[in-house]
Amino acid sequence: LIVCDNATEIKKHFTLAEQKNLILAEIESNDTWARDHGAISVFIDGKPAIYDFGFNAWGLKFASNYDNQITQKLFAEGVFAKEVKYHNHLNFILEGGAIESDGEGTLLTTSKCLLAPNRNQPLTKEEIEQYLKKIFGLEQVLWLNHGYLSGDDTDNHIDTLARLCSNDTIAYIQCKDEKDEHYVELKKMEEELASFRTLKDKPYNLIPLPMADAVYEDDYRLPATYANFLIMDKVVLVPTYNSNKDSVAMKQLEKAFPNREIIGIDCRTLIKQHGSLHCITMQYPKGFL
């Protein structure tokens, strides 16, 4: 499924055979970040549903009037399967990149993002946690209070810092350079992750990913990160930045996903827009489209 403003132009980049696997929806948008404005898929009593949360461009930083309508328009146009039920949660601001779930009762997030004053005030941390537990059927919410990436517009989205690879494994960004501006915060984040426990009261298996080499645009550092990978059925797509650290990150992720092929995707163009691979995509299980 590709949301675009010109389907004819998009088709030029695919063969006729490839086009058979595409759903092209011409809908006006503000930006490209499907992870954050896209519908979140869930199963309720075994039946498929989508949650449509409010999107205000990471706390009113940019325009979002079109992006905030995309899910409603896709549903109205019949893009989602007839079996999929639409749930309106537009009164709650939540981006897909702000939450990580193992699908088994645990959600991982960051305090700076979910508690940002320009998102869901005056709700408290406790109220937000109870809301998330109710709608997602969670048993625990793990909050990170440390960690950030320079150049990030999202207020520390979790999908740039630490990812749940399974119910007992977390891959995360590790900074070893004490002179790097991120060193102290990422070290504290690492300590927080080490303190977290699974629902079986066991420490998580932590897999460190290298801090990406600094990438700059107009003298500003961009939020390049290897944590922004995309998990698919048989493969994991990993952002790469033409660095010798690319192969290191991919080898580390082989440990987290031994039964999936690890494939690198050049994200140097994407990172110039302050996002990467996971940010620009949203997965849907079979039967949702």
Identify whether 267 is a catalytic site residue: no
Q: Which long-range contacts (CB under 8 A, 24 or more apart) does 224-227 make?
A: 224/149, 224/267, 224/271, 224/276, 225/149, 225/160, 225/161, 225/173, 225/276, 226/173, 226/253, 227/159, 227/160, 227/161, 227/162, 227/163, 227/171, 227/172, 227/173
Q: What is the pLDDT of residue 129?
A: 99
Alpha helices in the chain (DSSP H): 7-11, 16-19, 34-37, 57-60, 70-76, 111-114, 125-136, 183-195, 245-256, 268-271
- The helix (run of H) or strand (run of E) holding residue 169 is strand 169-174
Place of tokens 């290191």: 248
Q: What secondary structure letter does DSSP report for 118?
A: T
Locate 28 and state its tokens. Answer: 């006006």
Whose CA is closest to 49, among 123, 169, 135, 112?
135
pTM for this entry: 0.96
Cβ atoms of 37 and 73 within 8 Å: the answer is: no
Of 251, 237, 235, which Cα lies nearest the Cα of 280?
A: 237
CA distances from 249 to 148, 205, 275 (A): 19, 16, 18
DSSP state of 230: E
In degrees to the nearest 10, what's the CA dihedral of 209, 286, 53, 49? -140
User: Which tens digit of pLDDT belongs to each residue from 216-233?
Assistant: 998 899 999 999 999 999
For residue range 235-251, what is the model confidence (pLDDT) as tens digits? 999 999 999 999 999 99
Cα separation, 210 vs 245, in Å, equals 7
DSSP type of residue 98: G
Compute the distance between CA of residue 132 and CA of residue 109 in angstroms, rounded to an integer: 11
How confident is residue 66, by pLDDT bands cut at 50, 70 and 90? very high
| Segment 162-196, tens digit of pLDDT | 999 999 999 999 999 999 999 999 999 999 999 99
Q: What is the pLDDT of residues 244-286, one digit of tens each?
A: 999 999 999 999 999 999 999 999 999 999 999 999 999 999 9
Distance between CA atoms of 279 and 157, rounded to whole angstroms? 10
**Which one from 113, 175, 267, 279 is the annotated catalytic residue?**
279
Looking up tokens 């005030």 gives 121
Q: What is the pLDDT of residue 9?
A: 95
Q: In what order do the strands lie in the sheet with 40-44?
A: 40-44, 47-54, 85-93
Cis? peptide before 122, omega within 30° of 0:
yes
What integer is the mean pLDDT of 52-56?
98
